[in-house]
């Protein structure tokens, strides 16, 4: 048979397959002749007849000399209305104990590039109800948002709260896709239950490649999520909210595979193909004349080092950046957002308005001045500052405390009722703080409140 090959080596998740004739195409799926559930993807050529393949299944059944058959098809996933309200894996298998997903249509996960004239930019704010994000790094409809943070500072909780708030508000005119790449199964389960309790699960499709899966599955799950988003944008004409947790794990999976193939790494130590892999992922997540895809990405920062090469490779594609800080987390302020490091391309008078921009500039100036006073306060105390510096320092603490917030998705853990604050209300409250209307308040009084006027302070 011209589409038949032979395994010549198994190196972890990389399988070397030799074809004497009928050379396979890139991304073709090969199956073991003895068991068609054992699948591998043709990833790269080692010579004219030997190919590196990514193992997409357990390797227990693989051995040297085993025969494989080329299906001559790439990975395909089910798309359409049947995947809404469902959780599945890379191969379209149900993960929610609701039985198999009724397949109406299958689509390849390697989609064609869009013509440049079909891509559209939208100058409209997508409100989250989270004060720190809406004020310091507002989200553009059809834009890309990155949530950066080290281990345990609240990336997944923040992303889940954004899912909760935005999906509920936009459930009538949009659908959502959530891709879990390399994260814990427990977090996926908690998100599923949260969406179910909020009655928005019927508008959400979830696809998971958990931490325990092999790197090839994790690597391709991200592209499967993109494919679902493209389908709803193009075929349904619906605005899509695409969430992915975690983009670093996508880069890490590619690094694991490159290591097994003995690829020469780049100067940063990661795979030399990292830049093109990030481009192939991000450049498909665009808005068209039909509808918009708004992307929310959690990005793990290893060792809290924001200069890590994999982390830096994501920055060029983002419109809004939200940085989570361990020092803010240790102060007990949640969400632990670094207000000075977070920013957005939406922060211009045309998009957010003159009042927002002016208030933001003053707030940032206040926080920068207070930062320079931190060392003095730590050495000799706040009372030794001049009266003007004391006011600056006090107002900065009031502002930081005000930017803390109780989340709906953590009500069961904290016992505090979740708060949603409109962007205009946040701007007004910050304006009042800067003007000194709340100088008599202790900063602790503003912790985990909603809008100041609604807090009866």
Catalytic residue set: 155, 183-184
- Could you tell me which residues are beta bridge partners of residue 45? 51
Angle at 33 between CA 27 and CA 37, to 5 degrees: 65
Identify whether the C-beta of residue 294 lies closer than 8 Å to the C-beta of residue 139. yes
End-to-end, the C-alpha distance of the chain in Å comes to: 79
Please give the Cα distance from 169 to 328 (Å, whole number).
29
10 pairs with which residues across the strands? 15
Residues 6+ apart with CB under 8 A from 430: 135, 359, 363, 399, 402
CA dihedral 243, 248, 253, 259 (to 10 degrees): 160
d(CA 149, CA 168): 26
**CA proximity to 5, closest of 77, 74, 62:** 62
Tokens of 284: 């498909």
Alpha-carbon Rg for the chain, nearest whole angstrom, is 25
* Residues with Cβ within 8 Å of residue 378, at least 6 apart in sequence: none
Question: Exposed, middle or buried, 147 (CB in 10 Å: 0-12/13-18/19+)?
Answer: buried
The single-letter DSSP state of residue 284 is T
The residue among 250, 242, 225 whose CA lies nearest residue 300 is: 250
Please give the sequence-ordered ranges of beta strands (E in DSSP) within 81-211, or none if there are none: 87-88, 105-108, 125-126, 139-140, 144-149, 174-181, 204-209
Partner residues linked to 144 by β-bridges: 295
With CA atoms as reference, report the closest residue to 165 among 446, 418, 413, 427.
418
């Amino acid at each position: 048979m011209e589409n038949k090959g032979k395994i010549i080596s198994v190196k972890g998740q990389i399988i070397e397959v030799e074809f004497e004739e009928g050379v396979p195409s890139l991304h073709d799926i090969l199956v073991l002749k003895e068991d068609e559930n054992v699948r591998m993807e043709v990833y790269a050529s080692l010579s004219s007849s030997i190919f590196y393949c990514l193992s997409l299944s357990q390797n227990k059944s693989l051995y040297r000399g085993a025969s494989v058959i080329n299906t001559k098809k790439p990975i395909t996933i089910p798309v359409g209305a049947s995947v809404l309200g469902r959780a599945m894996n890379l191969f379209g298998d149900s993960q929610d104990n609701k039985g198999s997903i009724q397949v109406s249509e299958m689509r390849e996960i390697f989609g064609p590039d869009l013509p440049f004239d079909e891509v559209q930019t939208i100058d409209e704010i997508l409100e989250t109800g989270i004060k720190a994000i809406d004020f310091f790094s507002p989200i553009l409809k059809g834009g890309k948002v990155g949530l950066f943070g080290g281990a345990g500072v609240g990336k997944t909780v923040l992303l889940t709260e954004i899912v909760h708030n935005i999906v509920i508000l936009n459930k009538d005119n949009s659908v959502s896709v959530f891709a879990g790449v390399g994260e814990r199964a427990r977090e996926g389960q908690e998100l599923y239950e949260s969406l179910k309790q909020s009655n928005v699960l019927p508008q959400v499709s979830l696809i998971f490649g958990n931490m325990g899966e092999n790197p090839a599955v994790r690597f391709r799950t991200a592209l499967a999520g993109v494919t679902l988003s493209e389908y709803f944008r193009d075929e349904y004409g619906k605005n899509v909210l695409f969430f992915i947790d975690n983009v670093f794990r996508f880069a890490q999976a590619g690094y694991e595979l490159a290591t097994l193939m003995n690829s020469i790494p780049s100067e940063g130590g990661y795979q030399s193909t990292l830049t093109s892999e990030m481009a192939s992922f991000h450049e498909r997540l665009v808005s068209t004349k039909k509808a918009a895809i708004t992307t929310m990405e959690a990005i793990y920062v290893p060792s809290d080092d924001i200069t890590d090469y994999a982390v830096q490779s994501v920055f060029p594609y983002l419109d809004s950046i939200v940085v989570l800080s361990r020092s803010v987390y240790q102060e007990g302020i949640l969400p632990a957002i670094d207000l000075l490091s977070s920013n957005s391309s939406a922060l211009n008078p045309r998009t957010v308005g003159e009042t927002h921009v002016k208030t933001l500039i003053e707030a940032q100036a206040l926080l920068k001045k207070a930062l320079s006073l931190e060392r003095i306060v730590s050495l000799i105390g706040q009372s030794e500052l001049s009266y003007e510096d004391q006011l600056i320092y006090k107002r900065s603490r009031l502002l930081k405390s005000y930017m803390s917030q109780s989340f709906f998705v953590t009500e069961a853990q904290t016992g505090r009722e979740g708060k949603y604050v409109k962007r205009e209300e946040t701007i007004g409250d910050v304006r009042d703080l800067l003007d000194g209307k709340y100088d008599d308040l202790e900063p602790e009084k503003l912790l985990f409140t909603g809008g100041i006027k609604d807090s009866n302070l």
